[in-house]
Amino acid sequence: MTTVATTRFSGRAFGVQEMTLIREVVRECSGLSRMELARTVCELLRWRRPNGRLKARECREFLERLDAEGALELPAKRRGRALGSVTRVPRTAAGEPGLPLVGSVRDVEPLAVELVREPAQRLQFRELVGRYHYLGHTVPFGAHLRYLVFASRPQGAVVGCLQFSSPAWRMAVRDRWVGWDDRTRARNLQHVVNNSRFLLLPWVGVKNLASAVLARGLSQLAVDWPRRYHVEPWLVETLVDARRHHGGCYRAANFIALGSTSGRGRMDRHGRRGGEAPKTVLVYPVVRHAQQRLRES
């Protein structure tokens, strides 16, 4: 790998001295796992989120990219769940289909969008999404929040799930719509959040429930994301598989359709997987003048 003045990754530039330090840590601490190495590098380089937490997941991805390019040699992977991998889905009585729920939103209100916090809630979320969402449940990338959606009537019950997570690093139609350059995107991308899972359980057939859940979920996100990560969300993006869904509930919730992705996937930084699975890109400005804020230097 040719030595250059700086190496960029996930919006951060690493100078020659920092790259030398990274190689020394990997070489001298070869007994550590890849994630432990990533945390060590983050501590030394003070690579943190605005809330003070280490950016260990991004750092591990950076180390693995350097390893793939021959810039350093990481220890062999240890067994465990990789980011983006499909997780084991529990099967319990709580995840079995319930009685059909029909009617209108007013028949089931009030709705509650509850942040997943406890281990039992995490297992329930994993089971419902794993069993009933066509993409299944995977380990989220980067920052993320997950919610269970409850209807209060005719009796209290979970009717759906929402997940928000870190955005795609590059997405041509979104980047054109915002109008930012690479440097501005690297600085302001933290204000974009991806709605990476949205599920209404298949036995729930309440008219207009999807758009109502999205509206409440976005309101809750605007409160919970800054509280967890100390960053205000300005824009929410989502990807819809047009072969399966029209995205009408997003449009009804005032999302804006921008066009289609190239189908490369969020982790394809080198353009090797073009056209695999194009998706429709929709965005929702959480704040006024979101475009202007995102492209400001």
Over residues 189-214, the mean pLDDT reads 95
E-state strands within the chain: 6-9, 12-15, 101-104, 111-115, 144-151, 157-165, 192-200, 204-207, 235-240, 256-260, 280-285
Which of 72-81 are b and which e, b meaning 16 or more Cβ less than 10 Å from the residue's Cβ?
bebeeeeeee
Which pLDDT score, from 0 to 100, does residue 1 have? 41
Of residues 36 and 178, more confidently modeled: 178
Name every residue whose Cβ is closer than 8 Å to that of residue 192 and which is 6 or more positions away in sequence: 167, 174, 233, 234, 235, 236, 237, 294
Beta carbons of 144 and 129 less than 8 angstroms apart: no
* Inter-residue contact 214 to 112 (CB < 8 Å): no
- Please check whether residue 165 is in contact with residue 237, taking contact to mean a CB–CB distance below 8 angstroms: no
Tens of pLDDT along 271-287? 444 445 789 999 999 99
SS3 assignment, position 251: helix
Measured CA to CA, the distance from residue 112 to residue 28 in angstroms comes to 50
As a whole number, mean pLDDT of residues 45-49 equals: 89
Domains belonging to the chain, first-starting first, are: 6-68 (no CATH), 93-295 (3.40.630.30)
Res. 79: pLDDT tops 80 = no
Q: What's the mean per-residue pLDDT of the chain?
A: 87
The whole-number pLDDT of residue 236 equals: 98
How far apart, in Å, do the first and last CA atoms of the chain sit? 32
Identity of the residue numbered 266: R
Give the mean model confidence (pLDDT) for residues 254-272: 71
d(CA 121, CA 135): 20
Q: Is the pLDDT of residue 6 over 90?
A: no
**Which range has the worst mean pLDDT, 11-25, 85-99, 119-133?**
85-99
Whether 124 has a pLDDT exceeding 90, the answer reads: yes
Predicted TM-score (pTM) of this structure: 0.73
pLDDT confidence of residue 229? 85
Task: State the chain's maximal CA–CA distance in angstroms.
Answer: 65
Q: How confident is the model at residue 264 (pLDDT cuts 50, 70, 90)?
A: low
- Selection from 214, 220, 222, 206 nearest residue 240 by Cα: 214
Q: Give, in degrees to the nearest 5, the angle at Cα 233 between 230 and 236.
A: 145
Task: Tell me the percentage of the chain whose pLDDT exceeds 70.
Answer: 89
The residue-averaged pLDDT of 167-181 equals: 92
pLDDT: is 293 or 270 the higher one? 293
CB atoms within 10 A of CB 235: 24
Percent above pLDDT 90 for the chain: 52
